[in-house]
Chains A and B, each alone.
Chain A
Amino acid sequence: MFNVKISLFARTRELEHSIDKIHDKIIEMAMVFKEAVNIYLKERRSENYSEISKKIKILENESDRLRRDVESKLYEQNLIPDMRGNILQLVENLDKVVNLFDEVAHKFYIEQPDIPIIYHDQLRTLVRQVSDCAENMAIASRAFFRDLVTLRDYSKKVYLLEHQSDKTSAKLRKEVFDSDLELAHKIQINTFVEEVADIADLAEDCIDALLIFAIKREI
């Protein structure tokens, strides 16, 4: 009986750590992505960029493994029956954000878009905004498990950053299409800008769902 209790205690602690690690991975991914775009803008597909691309891939794989682990443990151990569906949805949403970071970084590696130097600062601003947005989303999501007041505080930050990233991407895309670049070139840059901005949109969707789950969580 005592052993059973200890084992249950240990398994719960392990699952708590896995959930925490999922959030750690998103925060790490946001930072690495920011660095990756900076390296790309300076060096294009260099040795350094290949290294950081691999790092992003590893983070994505680890995040996938953690997601599967959390999902199966929640069902195997029959935990939080009333919130289980919501938590699964949340973990899936978080994983989508990680996947999008990976996809965009990989696309830079494959397509090697030629981004004129005059757009570099704006692109860096956009990348900083979406990375901060994803980071704040991860903090809010972590708070959902412990402290609903903190969740609301960080949700506000996510909404603000998403709004700023929308404005930055709209301005950048307008400038690209107003330029004398070839149409194919314009379309390629536009696609990249849109995909980077999509990360913030996805983070915002995640927060929308999270706030609904939080209403259910309040006793």
Chain B
Amino acid sequence: MLTYMLFLSSGLFLGWSLGANDASNIFGTAVGTKMLRFSFAATIAGLFIILGSVISGQNTADTLNALGEINALPAAFSVSLASALAVMLMLKSGISVSISQAIVGGIVGWNVYTGSQTDMETLASICASWVFCPIISGCIAVGLYLLVKKIMHHSKLHILWQDWIVRVGMILTTALGGYALGANNMANVVGVFVDSCKFEMVKIGNLYTLSGIQILFLLGGIAACVGVFTYSQKAIKNVGKNLLAVSPMVAWIVILSQSLVLIMFSSKSLEQLLLSLHLPTLPAVPVSSTQAVIGAIVGIGLAKGGKGIKWRLVLKLMSGWVASPVMAFVLSYITLCFMENVFRQQVMLP
């Protein structure tokens, strides 16, 4: 168990990175526009990240397992560490990136190192989701923006009541966004440890039973919570203020769009509903909350005429979306090489 916890530490480090980086997308705009205090927003987001991770976190883990079934603990450790380092390095350079892209780069690195075949269909589906995620988020944000603008115009609501509604809305969407992030992204953090999970079932009174895998997701959620409180303020500076000067109302629309997109890409029930209606489905894939937020902000910026958008910063952030999986791939290959040849650990079970 001690060895397992030792190897899991890299996953928890990745969880910390998720909290430090991606969680800021949930409430970054709310804190950036001074509508919510950082400590308040972080508490709500942290709590709901844990709930999302434990209750629905496993839905997207299957897709990652289909990409590469890492069956040895030392390998899971190396892949997580490589992904966390990639995210950390990008964050240090001021580029908000996504754990989703880093972990995929890490898993593909393991596939290449061990000579396992990469499921190209799954990889293509994941990469497609990276393209569709900001586009869908942008479309939802534009729709919501035009709708809210129309409602505001006709309702003639006093500015003080508008402020009230936006604040309450922001609190609710921070909770929703936290849940969605936990549900969609926690597989990135601890997904690679699912196969080698050593935790046993725990009963909480007579009310609820936590499976071993749920405990694993709970630990990931707690690590993300620590990341939210210790480091997410730095990432907020980019998303909340710099990309486009946004009003609190727009900030709320951005968080809501992002949360809806994350839920769309992690909900099994939505997938079944679309299937029953013979419509194209959205796969349960861990998508990037950073991409969703940037898609929403750019979408609204374009709806406003496109003048206020800082395209140079958008391009810088987009370059991070390509650089992070590549960096994670390289780091994963190097750490696996070290793990096998220096520490003499098995990186693939036969």
Question: A residues bordering B, Cβ < 8 Å?
Answer: 8, 12, 15-16, 19, 79-83, 87, 144-147, 149, 216-217, 219
Give the most central of A81, A82, A146: most B CB within 10 Å.
Answer: A82
Residues of A within 8 A of B248 (CB): 81-82
Residues of A within 8 A of B249 (CB): 219
- Kindly state the separation between the CA atoms of A145 and B161 in the bound complex, as whole angstroms: 10
Residues of B within 8 A of A87 (CB): 159
- Kindly state the separation between the CA atoms of A145 and B152 in the bound complex, as whole angstroms: 12
Residues of A within 8 A of B157 (CB): 146
**A83 and B161 form a contact (CB under 8 A):** no
User: A12-B164, A82-B248, A145-B159 are known contacts. Are A219 and B34 too (CB-CB below 8 A)?
Assistant: no
9 pairs from A and B in contact (CB 8 Å cutoff):
A12-B161, A12-B164, A16-B158, A16-B160, A19-B160, A79-B160, A82-B248, A146-B157, A146-B158
**A80 and B156 form a contact (CB under 8 A):** no
B219 at the interface (CB under 8 A from A): no
Partner of B247, one of A8, A16, A219: A219
Partner of A219, one of B148, B156, B164: B148
Give the most central of A80, A81, A149: most B CB within 10 Å.
Answer: A80
B33 at the interface (CB under 8 A from A): yes
- Kindly state the separation between the CA atoms of A52 and B249 in the bound complex, as whole angstroms: 46
**B156 and A146 form a contact (CB under 8 A):** yes
Partner of B33, one of A15, A19, A81, A146: A81
Closest 10 CB pairs of A and B: A81-B34, A219-B249, A147-B156, A145-B159, A146-B156, A80-B163, A219-B247, A12-B160, A16-B160, A145-B158
- What is the count of residue pairs linking A and B with beta-carbon distances less than 8 angstroms? 44
B243 at the interface (CB under 8 A from A): no
Residues of B within 8 A of A81 (CB): 33-35, 248
Smallest beta-carbon distance A207→chain B, Å: 18
Classify chain B: how many residues form its interface, as a range: 20 to 34
- Kindly state the separation between the CA atoms of A147 and B250 in the bound complex, as whole angstroms: 18
Query: Beyond A146-B156, A219-B148, A219-B149: 5 further Cβ-contacts under 8 Å?
Result: A80-B159, A82-B33, A145-B160, A147-B156, A217-B247
- Kindly state the separation between the CA atoms of A216 and B159 in the bound complex, as whole angstroms: 13
User: A81-B33, A81-B35, A82-B33 are known contacts. Are A219 and B159 too (CB-CB below 8 A)?
Assistant: no
Smallest beta-carbon distance A9→chain B, Å: 8
Smallest beta-carbon distance A10→chain B, Å: 12
CB-CB contacts below 8 Å: B41-97 with A: none
Mark each residue of chain B from 143 to 181: 1 if its CB lies under 8 Å from any CB of chain A, else 0.
001001100110011111101100000000000000000
Residues of A within 8 A of B250 (CB): 219
Residues of B within 8 A of A16 (CB): 158, 160-161
- Kindly state the separation between the CA atoms of A101 and B247 in the bound complex, as whole angstroms: 36
- Kindly state the separation between the CA atoms of A61 and B161 in the bound complex, as whole angstroms: 28
Residue of A nearest to B161 (CB): A12
CB-CB contacts below 8 Å: B248-292 with A: 248-250
**A219 and B33 form a contact (CB under 8 A):** no
**A146 and B159 form a contact (CB under 8 A):** yes
- Kindly state the separation between the CA atoms of A219 and B149 in the bound complex, as whole angstroms: 7
Residue of A nearest to B154 (CB): A147
**A82 and B34 form a contact (CB under 8 A):** yes
- Kindly state the separation between the CA atoms of A161 and B161 in the bound complex, as whole angstroms: 33
Residue of A nearest to B159 (CB): A145
Smallest beta-carbon distance A218→chain B, Å: 8
Residues of A within 8 A of B161 (CB): 12, 16
- Kindly state the separation between the CA atoms of A158 and B33 in the bound complex, as whole angstroms: 33
- Kindly state the separation between the CA atoms of A116 and B289 in the bound complex, as whole angstroms: 76
Residue of A nearest to B162 (CB): A80
**B247 and A80 form a contact (CB under 8 A):** no
**A219 and B158 form a contact (CB under 8 A):** no
Smallest beta-carbon distance A156→chain B, Å: 19
